[in-house]
Amino acid sequence: MSIFTKLSTSALAVLSIFAMTGCSPNTPAQRGYEKAKSHLKENLKVPNSLKINGATCYYVVVEEYIVSGGYPYQYKISYSAKNGFDMTINDVAYYGYNDEYGSLKSYGTDSSKFNSASTGGKKQDIKV
């Protein structure tokens, strides 16, 4: 084999490993994040100004979150956006998501469910 073939094969192998370990766009956690981000954007005065600064998701396997349409996926989304006065605001929004029903719940700035999930839940990988 030529050196070029060996390098190409090695590069392809490394890229494959990174692709397999990356976050899949079709996971329940990612679907919930995309839904939450869309909801957040729709409710801004200047939707196109939305910039996500960070997002965290926890999955909680506790009966109260799953039974009767609860929200086992809990999100904290830090963002910046322009308001009606063309000023940039920085804020945090909290959401719950139930993948089985495809339902999203906005908690606004109430962090209580997210904080509870972060102590007893499993952190989920999401691509921001």
59 SS3 class: strand
Q: What is the predicted pLDDT for the residue at 90? A: 97
pTM of the model: 0.77
C-beta of residue 98 within 8 angstroms of C-beta of residue 60: no
Helix runs in the chain, H state only: 3-21, 28-42, 63-66, 112-120
pLDDT in tens, 18-58: 333 344 579 999 999 999 999 999 999 999 999 999 999 99
pLDDT in tens, 77-109: 999 999 989 999 999 999 999 999 999 999 999
19 SS3 class: helix
| Number of residues that make up the chain | 128
